[in-house]
Amino acid sequence: MARHAFKMYLFEGKAEEYKRRHDALWPDLQSLLKDSGISQYSIFLDEATHTLFGVMEVADEVKRTELPNHPVMKEWWTYMKDLMETNPDESPVSVPLREVFFMP
């Protein structure tokens, strides 16, 4: 099981809407993530900088790398693009983070 951490950038004033949308995560998206081997997925917010910090466990790297091609994933990105910095394909700007410590 691999662990991945990353940061994304929320627009100022969008934290409550971001949380509201994730509290109502689409069942199709949740199933897609789980079926792709993703578990223990959390997103935290640094309210001072509007930086989102995500961490997830991944059982299948190949399936994880295929997620950007899935229609449900693309729909979610379109739904979320008004809340956060995105790339030209509407995916969130996401910066991978290197693990420097882990205590199991």
Tens digits of per-residue pLDDT, 21-37?
Answer: 999 999 999 999 999 99
Side chain identity at residue 19, one-letter code: K
**Active-site residue (options: 4, 22, 50, 70):** 22
Report, in angstroms and rounded to the nearest whole number, the Rg of the chain calculated over CA atoms. 14
Enter the CATH code of domain 2-97. 3.30.70.100
Assess whether 22 carries a catalytic annotation: yes
Name the helix (H) or strand (E) containing 57: strand 51-58
Q: Is 37 helix (H, G, I), strand (E, B) or coil?
A: coil
Q: How far, in Å, CA of 56 to CA of 41, rounded?
A: 4
| pLDDT tens track for 56-85 | 999 999 999 999 999 999 999 999 999 999
**Residue ranges of domains in the chain:** 2-97
Torsion over CA of 58, 65, 99 and 102, rounded to 10 degrees? 0
pTM of the model: 0.93
